[in-house]
Amino acid sequence: MKQRKIKIAIQKSGRLNEDSLKILKDCGISIDNGREQLKASARNFPLEVMYLRNGDIPQYLRDGVVDLAIVGENLLIEKGTDLQVVEKLGFSKCRVSLAVPKGADFKSVKDLEGKKIATSYPNTVNQFLQKEKVNAELHIISGSVEIAPNIGLADAIVDIVSSGSTLFKNNLREVKTILRSEAVLVSPSKIDDGVKGLIYQLKFRIQSVLKARDSRYVLLNAPNDKIDEIIKLLPGMRSPTVLPLAEEGWSSIHTVIAKDRFWEIIDELKAIGAEGILVCPIEKMVV
C-alpha cells in the first residue's frame, strides 16, 4: 500500500515563503523545488509542498486539499478562525497596526468615529472597532493600503507593519497596535487519520529546531570553590555537566542557556570568576 504523504501549503513568495522552507530544511527535509513550481515533493520525508496565494490557504485546508499550512496568525484572525494552531513557529513576526498621517490630530481611537479607514483586513478591523465601540467606514483595498490617505481615500489605515519604514516613506505614523502576529503551523479542525502519525513526527522535528534556535550551548572554566555559585546561575536542561580539568582546582562546566538571557548570564558568570567562556549555536535540541 502506498504511503500517504503530508500535503503542506506555504506562501507562494515573499519572506514567509523563505522562512517556511528554511524551517523544513532545518528539520532535515529536502525539497525538490524547481523554478516556478506550484508543487514539490520531499526526497527524504513523506511530504509534499504546495505553493499557494496566502489568502487562498485557509479554504484549501477546509476543503482537504492540504493537511497543514504555514501562515501568519493575522491571516487566521481574518480568514481562518475555524482552523487550529499546531505549533507557533517564532519567525516572520509582525504587527497589524493603525496608522494616520503625521500631521493628523489623533489622541485616541475614539477620534476615528465617523472617519474612513483603508485596510486589507476588514474582519480584524471590524472586531477592533466593535471592541472600542467606534463607528467608522471601511475601504477594503488589496495591496498598497498606505497610499490611501495621500489620495484622499481614507483618514487612516490598518495594515501589517514590520520595520515601519513603509509608513515613514508615506508620511504616516503608527498610533495603535491592534494585534501581534508570527508564523504558525495550522491544520483543519479535523485531521485525516492517515497523516496523524506523520504530523506528530513533523511537529517533533519542528519543536527540536525551535528549541535549538532559542538556546545556546555554553562551556566555561571555573575554580572549584566557585562551582556551586556558578551552577545557581545556570538554568540548564536538567543540571550542568561538570568535568575536572588537568589543572588542579579547576573544572569545566557545560550547559544550555536561553538565547535571550545570554548577555545577562555571561556578565554574571565573569563577575563570579568564570574564564574561557565559549558560546556555541545548537543545531537541534531534543528533550
In a domain, 165, yes or no: yes
Q: Helix (H, G, I), strand (E, B), or coil: what is residue 9?
A: strand
Residues 187, 88, single domain; the answer is yes
Across-strand partners of 8? 49, 68
How distant is the alpha carbon of residue 223 from its chain centre? 41
Is residue 234 a contact partner of residue 253, using CB atoms and an 8 Å limit?
A: yes
Domain range for 66 is: 6-92+182-212
Whether residue 205 sits in one domain with residue 223: no
pLDDT of residue 235: 64
Q: Tell me the pTM.
A: 0.84
CB 213 within 8 A of CB 23: no
pLDDT digits (tens), the chain, 287 positions: 466 889 999 998 888 999 999 999 999 999 876 556 788 989 899 999 999 998 899 999 999 999 999 999 999 988 888 999 999 999 999 899 999 999 888 899 999 999 999 999 999 999 999 999 999 999 998 878 889 898 888 999 999 888 778 888 889 999 999 999 999 999 998 888 888 999 999 999 999 999 999 988 999 999 999 999 888 888 655 678 899 999 999 999 998 888 888 888 888 888 998 999 998 888 888 87
- Examine the domain organization and report whether 169 and 188 are in the same domain: no
153 in the same domain as 131? yes
The torsion angle over the Cα atoms of residues 151, 109, 132 and 182, rounded to 10 degrees, is 70
Are residues 61 and 196 located together in one domain of the fold?
Answer: yes
For residue 54, give the 3-state DSSP assignment.
helix
In a domain, 286, yes or no: no
* Statement to judge: residues 261 and 190 lie in one domain: no
- Which pLDDT does position 19 carry in this prediction? 93
- Out of 195, 212, 229, pick the residue that ends a domain: 212
Helix (H) or strand (E) holding 77: helix 73-79
Residue with cell 493603525: 98
8 Å CB contact between 8 and 47: yes
165, 180, 195 — which closes off a domain?
Answer: 180
Q: Identify the pLDDT of residue 35.
A: 58
Shared domain for 107 and 159, answered yes or no, is yes
Residue ending a domain, among 193, 212, 231, is 212
